Chain A
């Protein structure tokens, strides 16, 4: 029973399946070890509605208390070991111009990947956790995910061991991490979902003078989502009571085109990143005397 009480004090940790997959891919693709920041949200979820029960006493005995939930939604990493700290484990943002340092405020914790090592926090990770918790000043305990990718000698089997820790009372305490996938089993998480969409705030009815009043900023925001779909047409859809199916289809097709264009750009830039990484690798070999 005492154990149950201890568990109740720990925040619930969750990570979306896609975010975990991206994190593991990052750890496996890095040439060596790597580390980075984890982003997400900490929120006090209302406890799930008590399931209907014939035994009213039991339900009354356990009043639902809001539990702290930390959910990880993304990560940011330079694919380089010790990119977050100096050799003494003191946090320093990778570089001042790096976007991650600007958004470090939204970080809920950090991760570290060490190939084929024990799933215990290392000397420097513990120091970094302390230092980072002082920098971030979060209302919740700092989250740390330790990943240890390994592969069989012939690379036929790849394993990704990971374990989550919370910084509690200056110790990193192992905690369980729930992977959130799609399906009825994860309804609780979706109950609390609040979209944070960059959809611009648009006037609900068409302005009488139409195009003349749209600002440059507004048309830019629309262009970010749909290529070549004027703000006037968008307002037309929003303004009409039923909307016009054909206009909607056009807008959707425009969105898909935009997505495809973006995907192509990502593909091209990934190739360039890979080329650059290979060049860096050669330089590193030279530096380590392993030519």
Chain B
């Protein structure tokens, strides 16, 4: 999943500006959609090439992206856009299905080119149909277990499934199951949270398809993986979560409740860890002086200025998510020595100094201070050596 910053800067500099009405629709989509939609290439289809009117959107689907080209006509603004789907989406033909079903509820049926919400409605409508189309494809798979899983978990809100074709293996079915409650809001756990898009943790489950001939044998366990939106990494790392074991004959409906419960606890712990980190940064002030820079929201970084005799240097604290179980990583940076490129000389990261998670914050800071009092002499020597080598 993309960082939201990508979505905020849609226009590469090389292409001509988007036609005003198209630009209004695109910016409405990017600012209002709760999906991390990315804009790829933007280009012009006009005779004179003065205005851009077509672009590729990367739309999240099943923990991946599909890339669709949206084709407007700058010089025929009243004409609704057309969409060229990806190479693998040949079976997806929403308008043919509409015609067969006699459905004209589509936003295309009442397209108003002056309404900036048009593209937003179109993208979301097509994505919903795309999800349904893939659910139908997976439902056609001749595999007893996949059929059972579909019938039990498909009712869960926000679930997406798709086929994973592969050349050298039998096909697989991928489930993307959103974990925690639908309205669970990570943003509320973090005071002053900067995330624009809602953050999610998904369980990716990949079932190998066993042909129905091998009915008697126990189907092999699916491949499980937790995947989170990228912004969430500064609060909570899904890589650190140990997944409960998948026992033989298990199904997703059995597996999910235990996982969600343990995940809930871990998330609450992670938000509590912010408090511990904040108190640590606050405790730096009496000993080191006020930090000259600190991360006020997730409290993952702080920098203080220190002096030993005439040697002035910065100390960067990188505070891990498992603080206080894991100690902060220290990096020293000289204010007086530069390398050949003119960049200040930095020490290698230090994380082998004395540490106990049971100390209170003030003691942690005291101990680091004592350690640095000696360590800075080594660093000073390290810097002078580096300078001599340059000459």
Contact = CB atoms under 8 A, between A and B. Distances in A.
A32 B47 contact: yes
Contacts of B293: none
Interface residues of A, number: 37
A118 B108 contact: no
B265 interface: no
Given A114-B45, A123-B94, A284 B99 contact: no
B51 A290 contact: yes
Nearest to A148: B45
A127 B71 contact: no
What band does the interface of chain B fall in when counting residues whose beta carbon is under 8 Å from A?
35 or more
Given A125-B82, A127-B96, A281-B75, A289 B47 contact: no
Given A117-B54, A120-B84, A288-B20, A89 B99 contact: yes
A101 interface: no
Contact of A287 (B77, B82, B98): B77
A30 B45 CA distance: 11
Interface string B62-94: 000000010101111111101111010010011
Contact of B19 (A123, A127, A288): A288
Interface of A is mostly: loop
Contacts of B85: 120, 122-123
A31 B82 contact: no
B243 interface: no
Contacts of A281: 75
Contacts of A80: 76
A116 interface: yes
A161 to B, nearest CB: 14
A123 B80 contact: no
A115 B111 CA distance: 23
A288 B46 CA distance: 13
Contacts of A203: none
Given A120-B84, A123-B94, A289-B21, A114 B99 contact: no
B137 to A, nearest CB: 15
B378 interface: no
B175 interface: no
B98 A88 contact: yes
A258 B371 CA distance: 105
Interface of B is mostly: loop
B89 to A, nearest CB: 9
Interface string A266-277: 000000000000
A30 B94 CA distance: 28
A118 B69 CA distance: 9
Contacts of A123: 82-85, 93-95
A131 interface: yes
A130 B99 contact: yes
Contacts of A31: 46-47, 75
A258 B43 CA distance: 47
Contacts of A11: none
Contacts of B82: 82, 114, 122-125
A271 to B, nearest CB: 19
A151 B120 CA distance: 31
Contact of B84 (A81, A118, A289): A118
B106 interface: yes
A87 interface: yes
Interface string A108-135: 0000001111101011111100110000
- Among B51, B69, B96, B108, chain A packs the most CB atoms within 10 A around the CB of B96
Interface string A9-20: 000000000000
B20 A116 contact: no
Given A32-B45, A81-B76, A123-B84, A87 B20 contact: no
Contacts of B363: none
Interface in B204-255: none
A284 B47 CA distance: 14
Contacts of B19: 288-290
B132 interface: no
A160 to B, nearest CB: 14
A130 B95 CA distance: 10
Contacts of B90: 171
Contacts of A287: 77-78
B109 interface: yes
Contacts of A122: 71, 82-85
B104 interface: yes
Nearest to B89: A120
B136 to A, nearest CB: 15
A112 to B, nearest CB: 9
A88 B76 contact: no
A90 interface: yes
A25 to B, nearest CB: 13
A282 B49 CA distance: 16
Interface in A86-105: 86-90
Given A88-B108, A131-B99, A288 B79 contact: no
A284 B20 CA distance: 13
Contact of B75 (A32, A114, A289): A32
B74 A130 contact: no
Given A81-B79, A90-B99, 9 more contacts: A31-B46, A114-B84, A115-B46, A116-B44, A126-B93, A130-B99, A284-B77, A288-B21, A288-B77
Interface of A: 30-33, 80-82, 86-90, 114-118, 120, 122-127, 130-131, 151, 153, 170-171, 281, 284-285, 287-290
15 contacts: A32-B47, A82-B80, A82-B82, A86-B109, A88-B98, A90-B99, A118-B69, A124-B83, A124-B95, A153-B49, A284-B77, A287-B77, A288-B77, A289-B21, A290-B20
Interface of B: 19-21, 43-47, 49, 51, 53-54, 69, 71, 73-80, 82-85, 87, 90, 93-96, 98-99, 104, 106, 108-109, 111
Q: Which 7 pairs between the two chains have the least Cβ-Cβ distance?
A: A127-B95, A87-B80, A115-B45, A288-B77, A87-B108, A32-B73, A289-B20
